[in-house]
Amino acid sequence: MGFIKDTLVVYGRIITLLPLLLFITLFMGKRSIGSLPIFDFLIIITLGAVVGADIADPNIAHIHTAMAIIGLALLQKLISYMTIRFRKFRNAITFEPTIVIMDGIFKVENLRKIQYSIDEILQMLREKDVFDVSEVKLGIIEANGIISVYKKRDKSPVLLEDIGIKCFKDKLPYPVIIEGKIDYQIISQLGTSEFWLMKQLEKKGINEINDVFFASITSDLELHISLMNSDTPNYIKH
């Protein structure tokens, strides 16, 4: 009789916990199941341990498990807000993007820092349909461990020269403003200045640097700007 009772308790907890976990996952947002940053990964592991212990042991108070799940979700939401609001905090608890290939050449020192082997990088390139590393102008290992590849313009699947289109110089955009903060190192590398950048912003009617959420400049000094507040829809309608 006790076995049947415990079994019913376990099944009842599964039925009650799954809707709660679904709600919590939706509450945590897309980033928790998409890019999976380090802290979100730890949250998911902890959630699994808490739920698993509750289901396996009927003697554990069910309400305590539910409160633990809600507490973890609130903590994840707080950390997510802080990583979005404070860039230094975000850099402290996650990995920064790392350049591993530049103009077809591996950055060996960077590979060693992030503990990636050549074989791993080559496999990741093949998954991006890149079989020749010399075709890569820029390869970056993102914070989620996935490689982003920017191919050389003349190495596109269909060569522009083959269809009579002039091949222009690569225009790789460089981020110069992120969340209202100027990256002076990139400005210096591009051979320009903060004064020039502010003048360009003024031409576009932007007087406060804090109004800029993201801005990038190409090697030809073409400026792209995304403001903190934009009148675009929050979601795409199906």
DSSP string across 103-152: TTEE-HHHHHHHT--HHHHHHHHHHTT---GGGEEEEEE-TTS-EEEEE-
- Return the CATH class of domain 98-155: alpha beta
Q: What is the pLDDT of residues 148-165, one digit of tens each?
A: 999 887 666 665 566 666
**Which tokens belong to 183?**
């990256």
The model's pLDDT over 71-128, given as tens digits with 9 standing for 90+, comes to: 888 888 888 888 888 888 877 777 788 999 998 889 888 888 888 888 888 899 999 9
CATH number of 173-236: 3.30.240.20
Domain limits, the chain:
1-91, 98-155, 173-236
* Residue where the block lists tokens 């308790």: 9
Looking at the whole model, is its pTM more than 0.75? no
